[in-house]
Structure 1
């Protein structure tokens, strides 16, 4: 671990991979819950339980409220709320991997905005190619719902805001920022969930345990790890590396939900992974040359 601490970029990459694996594994669980419970209920409880778990682990009561920069916390929380609700609304209508592919347009736009060197554009272009190949087009086993695509694109816009807001100083530690941001996001979604109706079956032990698992896998763990990674990654690196999300999501959909992939989509996964590895390598090389 001490070796990794001396190489913050590598440590950030490992944390990001764990976060993405956790997030996309939870996507399969969320898609199962969506068939049983309202989407807003799932989204609101995910953030509520996640924030409570982090509040206990990181002792939220010990922070100095006067040091909190609420503008950064609120923007981060709004981004989380939008990402959660819009993404779940999208996977209700379209396959998991395709939803994440369209959602990724958000962080990809951030990566393009920060691209400066020729290699940056090469890796981002490869990521775009992979995303295009992920789309099923006329060979897809099921057509793409335009409303589902719109929800995914909206989630992508919130994802872009999430990257930007996550890099802004909040006056408290990264884990406390995640905890407070998730609570703000929950405050945005909970009134809507209650207004639309929250089934009492949610709180039955046999069901509630799945919501706790979703909160850990989809919020508490990945958002904390991503916040730590954001401290040691540029917006370009983070945005390009997040292109692995559609690949992991597609694999999760294939393994857990039986969603079939075309050969072009398997090739797309290889292209996206190559782009992420290339971006990581050239970014690290550039940093070493500056020393």
Structure 2
């Protein structure tokens, strides 16, 4: 059989992957900072769902994925990818409603570290899990003793661990969607599927959102900054690198989250938190060296 022709290269394919990740991280967490200001109006889970809904509208209008000929396998992969992505958004926003943004992102990073360790072949990838776990335990201990009400801290830590599991699934399924050539079209289909999957829980907020134009515009900013831009860039990079490499490159994101949290939300990390963040980043370096 002849080898399939590679997909055509676009302008973003000429940009170095680390640059794409810096742009992705800055927009992702700038959108998260805006979202935090909306939690008092709708609640964190509902803001996470509207982020997916509006991002799906933007992507479907842009890509018109129905024009593509879908195989059943590719369509199922895109749907699963979207449901995991929507779940990740909802539980992550619950986490950042209870935890500082940088701490939540660092703990959530257990997901990518686990993917890199499982798909890697050297001892350093395996040891990275222990190092990352040490950083997460330190961050969790600081959080529990930081003055945050214990119930809030427990809810936040549980939510961010769930988000870490979803993030791992997002990487694996996203690589499958990108490798099938569906790319951004698969992302559009997936977001529609994710929005529909969680609609029964949050559709009751529709009258309030759709009749409040400023609120709707803020949610649209969150959707574009935190979903459309970073996930489109993810799909571009996933076409170019392997799953483990993609996980390693995500090491740029925790530092970005800390920076955005400090500048926008005034969440200044303590020294123990910085040590925990350094351990997580060290785990990523270990997977990269391996």
User: Structure 2-normalised TM-score?
Assistant: 0.82
Match of residue 216, structure 1, among 221, 224, 228:
224
Counterpart pick for 1:146 among 130, 139, 154 = 154
Partner Cα distance (2:223, 2:47) in 1: 9
CA RMSD between the two structures? 3.1
CA distance in structure 1 between the aligned counterparts of 2:86 and 2:10, rounded to whole angstroms: 36
Secondary structure of the structure 2 residue equivalent to 1:164: helix
Q: Is 2:236 the partner of 1:228?
A: yes
CA-CA distance at 1:63 after TM superposition? 1.6
**SS at 2:267 equivalent:** coil
Aligned partner of 1:41 in structure 2 is 46
- Partner in structure 1 of residue 193 of structure 2: 184
In structure 2, list runs of 5 or more residues that go unmatched: 1-8
CA distance in 2 between partners of 1:233 and 1:119 (Å): 20
Q: 1:132: how far off?
A: 4.9
Paired residues of 2:248 and 2:285 also in contact (CA < 8 A):
no
Contact 2:21–2:252 under 8 Å retained in 1: no
Query: 1:77-226 alignment to 2 at 5 Å?
Result: 77-118=82-123, 120=125, 130-132=135-137, 134-135=139-140, 136-137=142-143, 140-142=146-148, 145-169=153-177, 171-195=180-204, 197-226=205-234
Q: Deviations over 1:169-211 (max 9, x none)?
A: 475431101111111110112221024x445255422221111
Query: Which residue of the partner structure matches residue 26 of structure 1?
Result: 31
Distance 1:154 1:103 in 2: 8
CA gap of 1:263–1:209, structure 2 versus 1, over 3 A, is same
Write the distance in 1 (CA, Å) between the matches of 2:215 and 2:58. 18
In structure 1, stretches of 5+ residues that fail to align are: 284-291
TM-score normalised to structure 1 length: 0.81
